[in-house]
Amino acid sequence: MTEAAGPREAAGPRGRRPGPTETREKILAEARDLFAEKGYDGASLRAIARAAGVDPALVHHFFGNKEGVFVEAMRFPVDPSVVLPRVISAPRERLGETMVRTFLEVWRDEDRRAPMLAMLRSAMTNERAAALLREFVTAVLLGRVTRDAEVPPLGVQAAAGQMIGLMILRYVVRMEPLASASEDELIELVAPAIQRYLTLTF
Amino acid sequence: MTEAAGPREAAGPRGRRPGPTETREKILAEARDLFAEKGYDGASLRAIARAAGVDPALVHHFFGNKEGVFVEAMRFPVDPSVVLPRVISAPRERLGETMVRTFLEVWRDEDRRAPMLAMLRSAMTNERAAALLREFVTAVLLGRVTRDAEVPPLGVQAAAGQMIGLMILRYVVRMEPLASASEDELIELVAPAIQRYLTLTF
Protein backbone atom coordinates (compact mmCIF):
# COMPACT_ATOMS: atom_id res chain seq x y z
CA MET A 1 0.00 0.00 0.00
CA THR A 2 3.02 2.32 0.36
CA GLU A 3 3.27 3.12 -3.32
CA ALA A 4 6.33 5.23 -4.01
CA ALA A 5 4.45 6.97 -6.79
CA GLY A 6 2.49 9.79 -5.09
CA PRO A 7 4.30 12.64 -3.33
CA ARG A 8 4.28 12.36 0.50
CA GLU A 9 2.52 15.70 0.79
CA ALA A 10 -0.52 14.15 -0.82
CA ALA A 11 -0.77 11.40 1.80
CA GLY A 12 -3.23 13.12 4.17
CA PRO A 13 -6.98 13.22 3.60
CA ARG A 14 -6.75 16.90 2.71
CA GLY A 15 -3.89 16.22 0.36
CA ARG A 16 -1.10 17.93 2.29
CA ARG A 17 1.23 17.49 5.24
CA PRO A 18 -0.12 18.97 8.51
CA GLY A 19 1.26 22.47 9.10
CA PRO A 20 2.77 23.65 12.39
CA THR A 21 -0.56 25.03 13.62
CA GLU A 22 -2.29 21.72 13.09
CA THR A 23 0.57 19.82 14.72
CA ARG A 24 0.44 22.16 17.70
CA GLU A 25 -3.31 21.68 18.05
CA LYS A 26 -2.92 17.93 17.71
CA ILE A 27 -0.36 17.92 20.55
CA LEU A 28 -2.68 20.01 22.74
CA ALA A 29 -5.65 17.76 22.03
CA GLU A 30 -3.69 14.66 22.96
CA ALA A 31 -2.31 16.43 26.02
CA ARG A 32 -5.82 17.30 27.21
CA ASP A 33 -6.85 13.66 26.86
CA LEU A 34 -3.77 12.39 28.66
CA PHE A 35 -3.98 14.96 31.47
CA ALA A 36 -7.65 14.10 31.92
CA GLU A 37 -6.90 10.38 31.93
CA LYS A 38 -3.72 10.22 33.96
CA GLY A 39 -3.55 13.52 35.80
CA TYR A 40 -0.80 16.11 35.64
CA ASP A 41 1.88 13.97 37.22
CA GLY A 42 0.89 10.84 35.33
CA ALA A 43 1.07 12.33 31.83
CA SER A 44 4.68 12.59 30.70
CA LEU A 45 5.81 14.89 27.94
CA ARG A 46 7.16 11.84 26.14
CA ALA A 47 3.75 10.12 26.29
CA ILE A 48 2.07 13.24 24.96
CA ALA A 49 4.52 13.36 22.06
CA ARG A 50 3.97 9.67 21.33
CA ALA A 51 0.18 10.08 21.36
CA ALA A 52 0.48 12.99 18.94
CA GLY A 53 2.90 11.08 16.72
CA VAL A 54 5.67 13.66 17.01
CA ASP A 55 9.17 13.81 18.41
CA PRO A 56 9.39 14.97 22.06
CA ALA A 57 11.82 17.64 20.87
CA LEU A 58 9.00 19.23 18.90
CA VAL A 59 6.83 19.43 22.03
CA HIS A 60 9.76 21.10 23.79
CA HIS A 61 10.13 23.44 20.85
CA PHE A 62 6.47 24.48 20.93
CA PHE A 63 5.80 24.61 24.68
CA GLY A 64 9.07 24.58 26.59
CA ASN A 65 8.10 21.96 29.16
CA LYS A 66 5.17 19.95 30.54
CA GLU A 67 3.93 22.94 32.54
CA GLY A 68 3.84 24.94 29.31
CA VAL A 69 1.84 22.21 27.57
CA PHE A 70 -0.61 22.09 30.46
CA VAL A 71 -1.04 25.87 30.55
CA GLU A 72 -1.86 25.87 26.82
CA ALA A 73 -3.93 22.69 26.88
CA MET A 74 -6.10 23.96 29.74
CA ARG A 75 -6.17 27.42 28.17
CA PHE A 76 -4.67 28.87 31.31
CA PRO A 77 -5.19 32.59 31.07
CA VAL A 78 -2.06 33.36 33.00
CA ASP A 79 1.37 31.89 32.63
CA PRO A 80 2.43 31.03 36.18
CA SER A 81 6.08 31.29 35.20
CA VAL A 82 5.46 34.98 34.46
CA VAL A 83 3.09 35.87 37.28
CA LEU A 84 4.54 33.85 40.14
CA PRO A 85 8.05 35.28 40.10
CA ARG A 86 6.53 38.75 40.23
CA VAL A 87 4.56 37.91 43.38
CA ILE A 88 7.35 35.90 44.95
CA SER A 89 10.01 38.54 44.34
CA ALA A 90 7.97 41.30 45.97
CA PRO A 91 9.31 42.64 49.27
CA ARG A 92 7.99 40.38 52.02
CA GLU A 93 5.93 43.15 53.61
CA ARG A 94 4.13 43.74 50.30
CA LEU A 95 3.38 40.13 49.31
CA GLY A 96 -0.35 40.56 49.97
CA GLU A 97 -0.73 43.78 48.06
CA THR A 98 1.30 42.43 45.14
CA MET A 99 -0.74 39.25 44.91
CA VAL A 100 -4.10 41.05 45.02
CA ARG A 101 -2.94 43.65 42.50
CA THR A 102 -1.66 40.95 40.14
CA PHE A 103 -4.95 39.05 40.24
CA LEU A 104 -7.02 42.20 39.75
CA GLU A 105 -4.93 43.18 36.73
CA VAL A 106 -5.46 39.79 35.14
CA TRP A 107 -9.20 39.84 35.86
CA ARG A 108 -9.59 43.35 34.45
CA ASP A 109 -9.24 41.91 30.98
CA GLU A 110 -12.27 39.79 30.14
CA ASP A 111 -10.27 37.69 27.68
CA ARG A 112 -7.99 36.58 30.48
CA ARG A 113 -10.74 36.33 33.10
CA ALA A 114 -13.10 34.15 31.05
CA PRO A 115 -10.87 31.06 30.78
CA MET A 116 -10.08 31.32 34.49
CA LEU A 117 -13.79 31.25 35.30
CA ALA A 118 -14.30 28.47 32.77
CA MET A 119 -11.69 26.38 34.53
CA LEU A 120 -13.31 27.03 37.90
CA ARG A 121 -16.72 26.13 36.48
CA SER A 122 -15.33 22.90 35.08
CA ALA A 123 -13.70 22.03 38.38
CA MET A 124 -16.97 22.64 40.19
CA THR A 125 -19.04 20.42 37.95
CA ASN A 126 -16.60 17.76 36.83
CA GLU A 127 -14.47 15.56 39.07
CA ARG A 128 -11.81 15.11 36.42
CA ALA A 129 -11.41 18.82 35.94
CA ALA A 130 -11.24 19.22 39.71
CA ALA A 131 -8.55 16.54 39.92
CA LEU A 132 -6.53 18.21 37.18
CA LEU A 133 -6.75 21.61 38.80
CA ARG A 134 -5.82 20.08 42.16
CA GLU A 135 -2.79 18.27 40.79
CA PHE A 136 -1.54 21.20 38.76
CA VAL A 137 -1.90 23.68 41.57
CA THR A 138 -0.27 21.30 44.00
CA ALA A 139 2.55 20.28 41.69
CA VAL A 140 3.36 23.63 40.14
CA LEU A 141 1.92 26.64 41.91
CA LEU A 142 2.04 25.49 45.51
CA GLY A 143 5.41 23.89 45.12
CA ARG A 144 6.94 27.08 43.86
CA VAL A 145 5.27 29.47 46.29
CA THR A 146 5.85 27.35 49.35
CA ARG A 147 9.46 26.70 48.36
CA ASP A 148 10.56 30.03 46.93
CA ALA A 149 8.59 32.32 49.19
CA GLU A 150 8.61 30.00 52.21
CA VAL A 151 4.86 30.27 52.70
CA PRO A 152 3.14 27.34 54.42
CA PRO A 153 0.73 25.48 52.06
CA LEU A 154 -2.30 26.23 54.26
CA GLY A 155 -1.51 29.93 54.00
CA VAL A 156 -1.24 29.79 50.21
CA GLN A 157 -4.51 27.87 49.99
CA ALA A 158 -6.37 30.25 52.27
CA ALA A 159 -5.13 33.12 50.10
CA ALA A 160 -6.15 31.26 46.94
CA GLY A 161 -9.57 30.64 48.46
CA GLN A 162 -9.99 34.32 49.22
CA MET A 163 -9.12 35.30 45.66
CA ILE A 164 -11.39 32.61 44.14
CA GLY A 165 -14.34 33.68 46.29
CA LEU A 166 -13.69 37.32 45.48
CA MET A 167 -13.64 36.55 41.76
CA ILE A 168 -16.91 34.60 41.99
CA LEU A 169 -18.75 37.31 43.91
CA ARG A 170 -17.37 40.15 41.78
CA TYR A 171 -17.64 38.66 38.29
CA VAL A 172 -20.13 35.77 38.44
CA VAL A 173 -22.67 36.63 41.12
CA ARG A 174 -21.87 40.33 40.59
CA MET A 175 -22.72 41.24 44.15
CA GLU A 176 -22.83 44.96 44.89
CA PRO A 177 -20.91 46.92 46.10
CA LEU A 178 -18.17 44.37 45.43
CA ALA A 179 -18.80 44.24 41.68
CA SER A 180 -18.36 47.99 41.25
CA ALA A 181 -15.59 48.55 43.77
CA SER A 182 -12.39 50.01 42.36
CA GLU A 183 -9.22 47.95 42.29
CA ASP A 184 -7.71 50.25 44.92
CA GLU A 185 -10.69 49.68 47.22
CA LEU A 186 -10.34 45.94 46.80
CA ILE A 187 -6.63 46.03 47.50
CA GLU A 188 -7.29 47.99 50.67
CA LEU A 189 -10.03 45.52 51.59
CA VAL A 190 -8.31 42.23 50.90
CA ALA A 191 -4.53 42.73 50.83
CA PRO A 192 -4.07 42.71 54.64
CA ALA A 193 -5.73 39.28 54.87
CA ILE A 194 -3.60 37.92 52.02
CA GLN A 195 -0.50 39.46 53.57
CA ARG A 196 -1.23 37.63 56.81
CA TYR A 197 -1.83 34.31 55.01
CA LEU A 198 1.42 34.60 53.07
CA THR A 199 3.51 35.41 56.11
CA LEU A 200 1.98 32.96 58.57
CA THR A 201 4.34 30.86 60.59
CA PHE A 202 2.98 27.62 61.97
CA MET B 1 -70.36 20.77 34.18
CA THR B 2 -70.45 21.32 37.92
CA GLU B 3 -72.72 18.41 38.62
CA ALA B 4 -73.69 18.32 42.27
CA ALA B 5 -73.80 14.54 42.13
CA GLY B 6 -70.15 13.43 42.56
CA PRO B 7 -68.33 14.09 45.81
CA ARG B 8 -65.78 16.96 45.59
CA GLU B 9 -62.99 14.64 46.68
CA ALA B 10 -63.39 12.78 43.43
CA ALA B 11 -62.78 15.90 41.33
CA GLY B 12 -59.00 15.53 40.81
CA PRO B 13 -57.48 13.26 38.22
CA ARG B 14 -56.36 10.84 40.91
CA GLY B 15 -59.78 10.83 42.44
CA ARG B 16 -58.98 12.80 45.61
CA ARG B 17 -58.33 16.29 46.87
CA PRO B 18 -54.60 17.19 46.98
CA GLY B 19 -53.17 16.57 50.45
CA PRO B 20 -51.08 19.10 52.38
CA THR B 21 -47.79 17.64 51.06
CA GLU B 22 -48.89 18.02 47.47
CA THR B 23 -50.17 21.54 48.07
CA ARG B 24 -46.87 22.45 49.72
CA GLU B 25 -44.89 21.06 46.79
CA LYS B 26 -47.16 22.87 44.34
CA ILE B 27 -46.52 26.16 46.12
CA LEU B 28 -42.75 25.55 46.07
CA ALA B 29 -42.80 24.64 42.37
CA GLU B 30 -44.67 27.83 41.50
CA ALA B 31 -42.39 29.83 43.79
CA ARG B 32 -39.29 28.50 42.02
CA ASP B 33 -40.74 29.52 38.67
CA LEU B 34 -41.72 32.96 39.90
CA PHE B 35 -38.40 33.60 41.66
CA ALA B 36 -36.57 32.51 38.50
CA GLU B 37 -38.76 34.72 36.34
CA LYS B 38 -39.09 37.84 38.45
CA GLY B 39 -36.29 37.60 40.99
CA TYR B 40 -36.59 37.60 44.74
CA ASP B 41 -37.93 41.11 45.08
CA GLY B 42 -40.26 40.82 42.10
CA ALA B 43 -42.06 37.69 43.24
CA SER B 44 -44.62 38.54 45.91
CA LEU B 45 -46.02 36.00 48.32
CA ARG B 46 -49.47 36.89 47.00
CA ALA B 47 -48.42 36.15 43.41
CA ILE B 48 -46.95 32.82 44.48
CA ALA B 49 -50.21 31.93 46.23
CA ARG B 50 -52.21 32.95 43.16
CA ALA B 51 -50.03 30.88 40.83
CA ALA B 52 -50.47 27.86 43.11
CA GLY B 53 -54.21 28.44 43.37
CA VAL B 54 -54.21 28.75 47.15
CA ASP B 55 -54.97 31.44 49.69
CA PRO B 56 -51.96 33.56 50.75
CA ALA B 57 -52.80 32.62 54.34
CA LEU B 58 -51.94 29.03 53.50
CA VAL B 59 -48.52 30.07 52.20
CA HIS B 60 -48.01 31.95 55.47
CA HIS B 61 -49.12 28.89 57.37
CA PHE B 62 -46.65 26.62 55.58
CA PHE B 63 -43.60 28.87 55.27
CA GLY B 64 -43.99 31.89 57.54
CA ASN B 65 -42.94 34.54 55.02
CA LYS B 66 -41.42 35.03 51.57
CA GLU B 67 -37.93 34.37 52.90
CA GLY B 68 -39.17 31.05 54.24
CA VAL B 69 -40.68 30.16 50.86
CA PHE B 70 -37.42 31.06 49.14
CA VAL B 71 -35.30 29.05 51.55
CA GLU B 72 -37.47 26.00 50.94
CA ALA B 73 -37.90 26.55 47.21
CA MET B 74 -34.15 26.88 46.69
CA ARG B 75 -33.52 24.03 49.12
CA PHE B 76 -31.39 26.30 51.24
CA PRO B 77 -29.43 24.05 53.53
CA VAL B 78 -29.34 26.60 56.29
CA ASP B 79 -32.12 28.73 57.61
CA PRO B 80 -30.62 32.21 57.81
CA SER B 81 -33.10 33.17 60.52
CA VAL B 82 -31.49 30.52 62.72
CA VAL B 83 -27.84 30.95 61.77
CA LEU B 84 -27.59 34.72 61.37
CA PRO B 85 -28.78 35.70 64.85
CA ARG B 86 -26.19 33.35 66.30
CA VAL B 87 -23.37 35.05 64.39
CA ILE B 88 -24.72 38.55 64.92
CA SER B 89 -25.26 38.11 68.64
CA ALA B 90 -21.68 36.95 69.25
CA PRO B 91 -19.43 39.31 71.19
CA ARG B 92 -17.94 41.75 68.70
CA GLU B 93 -14.40 40.52 69.32
CA ARG B 94 -15.45 36.97 68.43
CA LEU B 95 -17.51 37.67 65.28
CA GLY B 96 -14.89 36.11 63.00
CA GLU B 97 -14.43 32.97 65.04
CA THR B 98 -18.19 32.53 65.42
CA MET B 99 -18.83 32.92 61.70
CA VAL B 100 -16.11 30.47 60.66
CA ARG B 101 -17.18 27.96 63.31
CA THR B 102 -20.82 28.20 62.21
CA PHE B 103 -19.95 27.60 58.55
CA LEU B 104 -17.67 24.69 59.38
CA GLU B 105 -20.36 23.06 61.48
CA VAL B 106 -22.86 23.32 58.63
CA TRP B 107 -20.37 21.98 56.08
CA ARG B 108 -19.40 19.06 58.31
CA ASP B 109 -22.72 17.44 57.45
CA GLU B 110 -22.75 16.39 53.80
CA ASP B 111 -26.53 16.65 53.64
CA ARG B 112 -26.33 20.32 54.46
CA ARG B 113 -23.20 20.98 52.43
CA ALA B 114 -24.45 19.41 49.19
CA PRO B 115 -27.33 21.84 48.50
CA MET B 116 -25.04 24.76 49.32
CA LEU B 117 -22.56 23.57 46.71
CA ALA B 118 -25.41 22.88 44.30
CA MET B 119 -26.59 26.45 44.66
CA LEU B 120 -23.08 27.76 44.05
CA ARG B 121 -22.69 25.50 41.01
CA SER B 122 -26.00 26.76 39.63
CA ALA B 123 -24.98 30.36 40.19
CA MET B 124 -21.71 29.76 38.38
CA THR B 125 -23.27 28.22 35.31
CA ASN B 126 -26.63 29.92 35.07
CA GLU B 127 -27.26 33.64 35.01
CA ARG B 128 -30.76 33.26 36.48
CA ALA B 129 -29.47 31.29 39.42
CA ALA B 130 -26.75 33.90 39.89
CA ALA B 131 -29.34 36.67 39.84
CA LEU B 132 -31.49 34.87 42.39
CA LEU B 133 -28.57 34.26 44.71
CA ARG B 134 -27.48 37.88 44.32
CA GLU B 135 -30.90 39.28 45.11
CA PHE B 136 -31.55 36.99 48.02
CA VAL B 137 -28.18 37.60 49.61
CA THR B 138 -28.52 41.32 49.09
CA ALA B 139 -32.11 41.56 50.27
CA VAL B 140 -31.99 39.18 53.19
CA LEU B 141 -28.53 38.27 54.41
CA LEU B 142 -26.65 41.47 53.74
CA GLY B 143 -29.47 43.64 54.91
CA ARG B 144 -29.58 41.91 58.25
CA VAL B 145 -25.85 41.67 58.86
CA THR B 146 -25.05 45.21 57.80
CA ARG B 147 -27.95 46.56 59.84
CA ASP B 148 -27.90 44.43 62.95
CA ALA B 149 -24.16 43.97 63.28
CA GLU B 150 -23.22 47.30 61.70
CA VAL B 151 -20.79 45.71 59.30
CA PRO B 152 -20.11 47.54 56.01
CA PRO B 153 -21.37 45.59 52.95
CA LEU B 154 -17.89 45.31 51.43
CA GLY B 155 -16.66 43.69 54.63
CA VAL B 156 -19.52 41.17 54.65
CA GLN B 157 -18.89 40.35 50.99
CA ALA B 158 -15.16 39.90 51.46
CA ALA B 159 -15.92 37.53 54.34
CA ALA B 160 -18.48 35.67 52.24
CA GLY B 161 -15.93 35.40 49.43
CA GLN B 162 -13.38 33.92 51.81
CA MET B 163 -15.83 31.32 53.06
CA ILE B 164 -17.01 30.43 49.52
CA GLY B 165 -13.44 30.01 48.28
CA LEU B 166 -12.55 27.95 51.32
CA MET B 167 -15.55 25.68 50.73
CA ILE B 168 -14.63 25.19 47.07
CA LEU B 169 -10.99 24.34 47.77
CA ARG B 170 -11.80 22.08 50.74
CA TYR B 171 -14.82 20.19 49.41
CA VAL B 172 -14.83 20.49 45.62
CA VAL B 173 -11.20 20.75 44.51
CA ARG B 174 -10.17 18.94 47.73
CA MET B 175 -6.80 20.62 47.85
CA GLU B 176 -4.41 19.28 50.47
CA PRO B 177 -3.61 20.11 53.23
CA LEU B 178 -6.77 22.24 53.29
CA ALA B 179 -9.12 19.29 52.68
CA SER B 180 -7.81 17.35 55.68
CA ALA B 181 -7.24 20.25 58.05
CA SER B 182 -9.19 20.08 61.31
CA GLU B 183 -11.90 22.61 62.03
CA ASP B 184 -9.76 24.11 64.77
CA GLU B 185 -6.87 24.58 62.34
CA LEU B 186 -9.18 26.30 59.88
CA ILE B 187 -10.60 28.57 62.55
CA GLU B 188 -7.08 29.56 63.56
CA LEU B 189 -6.22 30.08 59.90
CA VAL B 190 -9.22 32.06 58.70
CA ALA B 191 -11.01 33.61 61.69
CA PRO B 192 -8.62 36.58 62.06
CA ALA B 193 -9.27 37.63 58.45
CA ILE B 194 -13.04 37.29 58.89
CA GLN B 195 -12.84 39.17 62.18
CA ARG B 196 -11.10 42.05 60.42
CA TYR B 197 -13.66 42.09 57.57
CA LEU B 198 -16.58 42.14 59.99
CA THR B 199 -15.17 44.95 62.09
CA LEU B 200 -13.85 47.17 59.32
CA THR B 201 -14.70 50.82 59.49
CA PHE B 202 -14.59 52.75 56.24
CB neighbourhood size of B166 (10 A): 26
Do residues B29 and B7 lie in contact, with contact meaning Cβ atoms separated by under 8 Å?
A: no
Of B134, B154, B172, the CB nearest to A124: B172
Q: Are residues A60 and A138 in the same domain?
A: no
Tens-place pLDDT, residues A128-178: 778 877 877 777 666 777 777 777 889 989 999 999 999 999 998 899 999
Instruction: Please indicate, yes or no, whether residues A161 and A107 belong to a single structural domain of this protein.
Output: yes
Tens digit of pLDDT for each residue in A165-191?
999 999 988 999 999 999 999 999 999
Q: Which position has the higher pLDDT, A121 or B30?
A: B30
**C-alpha span between B14 and B145 (Å, rounded):** 47
Q: Who's near B25: CB < 8 A, 6+ residues apart?
A: none
Backbone angles phi, psi at A76, to 5 degrees: -60, 130
CA distances from A13 to A7, A29, A98 (A): 13, 19, 51
- A104 with A168, same domain: the answer is yes
- My answer on whether A31 and A93 are in the same domain is no
Would the CB atoms of A130 and B189 count as touching at under 8 Å?
no
CB contact under 8 A, A157 and B175: yes
Interior angle at CA A138, CA A55 and CA A114, nearest 5: 80
Stretch B181-202: mean pLDDT? 93
Residues A97 and A112 in one domain: yes
Q: Give the end of a domain, one of A58, A73, A88.
A: A73
Kindly provide the ipTM of the predicted complex, given to two decimals: 0.72
- Of the candidates A163, A156, A160, which has an alpha carbon nearest to the alpha carbon of residue A186? A163
Residues A114, A62 within the same domain: no
Please indicate, yes or no, whether residues A65 and A87 belong to a single structural domain of this protein: no
Give the residue from A35, A54, A73 where a domain finishes: A73
- Specify if B6 maps to a domain: no
% of chain A with per-residue pLDDT over 90: 34
Band (pLDDT 50/70/90 cuts) for residue B15 is: low
Residue B34 structural domain: 15-73
Task: Tell me, yes or no, whether A27 lies in a domain.
Answer: yes
Does residue A3 belong to any structural domain of this protein?
no
Candidates B100, B127, B151, B175, partner chain A, best to mutate (most A CBs within 10 A): B175
Name the average pLDDT for chain B.
81
The pLDDT, as a whole number, for residue A119 is 78
CATH number at residue A112: 1.10.357.10
Q: What is the pLDDT of residue B80?
A: 67
In a domain, A66, yes or no: yes
Nearest alpha carbon to residue B193 among A94, A189, A32, A95:
A189
Picking from A164, A168, A170, A197, the residue whose alpha carbon sits closest to that of residue A185 is A170
C-alpha B98: how far from chain center? 19
* Same domain assignment for residues A132 and A193: yes
Average pLDDT of the residues in B135-162: 80
Q: Which of A26, A41, A73 is the last residue of a domain?
A: A73
| Domain count along chain A | 2
- Mean pLDDT in residue range B131-160: 78
Question: Which residues of chain B does A137 touch, with a Cβ-Cβ cutoff of 8 Å?
Answer: 173, 175
Query: Rounded to whole angstroms, what are the CA distances from A3 to A8, A13, A18, A53, A201?
Result: 10, 16, 20, 22, 70
Q: Is residue A106 part of a domain?
A: yes
pLDDT value, residue B46:
95
Question: Worst-scoring range by mean pLDDT, A60-74, A95-109, A188-202?
Answer: A60-74
Co-location of A154 and A58 in the same domain: no
CATH code for position A64: 1.10.10.60
Q: What is the pLDDT of residue A9?
A: 40
List, for residues B36-82, the tens digit of each pLDDT value: 677 777 789 999 999 999 999 999 999 998 888 887 887 666 666 66
Q: Do the domain assignments include residue A7?
A: no
* Cβ–Cβ below 8 Å for B158 and A196: no
